[in-house]
Amino acid sequence: MSTDSSTAAPGTDSGTTLKVAIIGTGVIGAAWATGFLSAGHSVTAFDPAEGAEERLREQVTNCVEDAGSGSAASLLEHLTFAPSLAEAVADADFVQENGPERLEVKQSMLAEIDAAAPEVAVIASSTSGFSPSQLSAQATKAPGRIVVGHPFNPAHLVPLVEVVPSSATSAEVIERAMETYRAVGKKPILVRAELPGHVANRLQAAMWQEAYSLVDRGVVSVSDIDTAISYGPGLRWAILGPLAQQSLSGGAGGMRHVLDHLGPPQEVWMHDLKKVHLGEDLKEKLIAGVDEELQDRDPAVLAKQRDDMLLELIALKRKYGELP
Ligand SMILES: NC(=O)c1ccc[n+]([C@@H]2O[C@H](COP(=O)([O-])OP(=O)(O)OC[C@H]3O[C@@H](n4cnc5c(N)ncnc54)[C@H](O)[C@@H]3O)[C@@H](O)[C@H]2O)c1
């Protein structure tokens, strides 16, 4: 860790600059590299794929342009590409692992990172669903400093990060991970149990399950599901979370009133939800429905529109102050 402002990377006023190692520089690794560089940290990256360094530089440039946060050239001066994983993490304060989502690959990468990184470094994995206990199974030096730090796509724009420790993780490591993410403008939450899919993906899965079931049963079309959320509750959920939002539905009586009043029927709906199996028939229905819904759309243009609107939404949230 460096506190010498003469060597500080751009964007750092006077405070601490971290040496961050980014291991695996695909979609998510590039987004993390952009975030850490933009916050003034120095980044050393490693990815064994042919041409990975050029792709990373290009992706960081694209992410910076997408975010409308100035020029990438000065940030890229603080990016180094290492010839091996061990060299990338050798003097890291913080490691963010973004390799393929395959348990055996991640276990071996994290064992190698743990062996080569300084014992004080925090090691976070971007895994979408594995637990830190699974990920650290082959690590022998200091496995307790391996946590999940799960971002959300597009990860250079969306603030949420889910931090999941294992039972071997100290309170100090948890706080350092949370603080590191806060300091790069993220919004971390601490997940207190190791569950498949952490929290946000489980919440999405609960909704996808019912959406798929309703389509499967012919209750509504794919595009009706999307309208029901994106022109309905989804509009509110981006502003206030679903529970704070629910309390507003209780008027002056707040959450107590809404739960007393609407809790009983809500419980009937909850217990009526169906489980689905994602078999071939259902997959075909969903694919055909989305193809029809998006038939005149270019996915690249759609993704750009989504990202532009996300930026405006995030700016609006800032303008109105911190909401829950
Ligand atoms: N894409 C998403 O929406 C998303 C969102 C949140 C989290 N994640 C998680 O982030 C991680 C990365 O996902 P992605 O979408 O960036 O995948 P990706 O396929 O774009 O990138 C994976 C990268 O890992 C590299 N790699 C393979 N073996 C390696 C090794 N031994 N050492 C270092 N690098 C290695 C590959 O060359 C590739 O560049 C996964 O764990 C995924 O679950 C993905």
**122 and 222 within one domain:** no
Average pLDDT of span 207-228: 98
As a whole number of angstroms, the distance between CA 49 and CA 225 comes to 39
pLDDT tens per residue across span 269-310: 999 999 999 999 999 999 999 999 999 999 999 999 999 999
Give the model's confidence band at 15: pLDDT under 50 very low, under 70 low, under 90 confident, else very high.
low
As a whole number of angstroms, the distance between CA 74 and CA 133 comes to 38
For residue 304, being part of any structural domain is answered with no
Give the model's confidence band at 6: pLDDT under 50 very low, under 70 low, under 90 confident, else very high.
very low
For residue 320, being part of any structural domain is answered with no
Which residue owns the Cα nearest ligand 1 atom 12?
Answer: 98
**17 and 100 within one domain:** yes
49 CB under 6 A from ligand 1? yes
Mean pLDDT for all residues in the chain: 93
12 CB under 6 A from ligand 1? no
Pocket test for ligand 1, best of 27, 85, 148 (most atoms within 8 A of CB): 27
Give the model's confidence band at 68: pLDDT under 50 very low, under 70 low, under 90 confident, else very high.
confident
How many contiguous H segments (helices) and E segments (strands) does the chain have? 14, 8
Tokens of 258: 């809404």
**164 and 214 within one domain:** no
Quote the ligand 1 centre to 127 CA distance (angstroms).
8
Residue 2: pLDDT above 50? no
For residue 242, being part of any structural domain is answered with yes
Tokens of 229: 């959320």
204 CB under 6 A from ligand 1? no
pLDDT tens per residue across span 157-203: 999 999 999 999 999 999 999 999 999 999 999 999 999 999 999 99
Residue 11: pLDDT above 60? no
- Ligand 1, closest atom to CA 129? 43
Pairing verdict, β 19-23 and 187-190: unpaired
Which residue owns the Cα nearest ligand 1 atom 8?
Answer: 128
Percent of residues in the chain assigned helix, strand, coil, to nearest 5: 50, 10, 35
What letter does residue 11 receive in the DSSP assignment? T
How many separate domains does the chain show? 2
Give the model's confidence band at 3: pLDDT under 50 very low, under 70 low, under 90 confident, else very high.
very low
Quote the ligand 1 centre to 129 CA distance (angstroms).
13
Quote the ligand 1 centre to 230 CA distance (angstroms).
29
111 CB under 6 A from ligand 1? no
Domain span holding position 42: 5-190
149 CB under 6 A from ligand 1? no
Of 140, 170, 190, the residue that ends a domain is 190
Of 136, 157, 190, the residue that ends a domain is 190
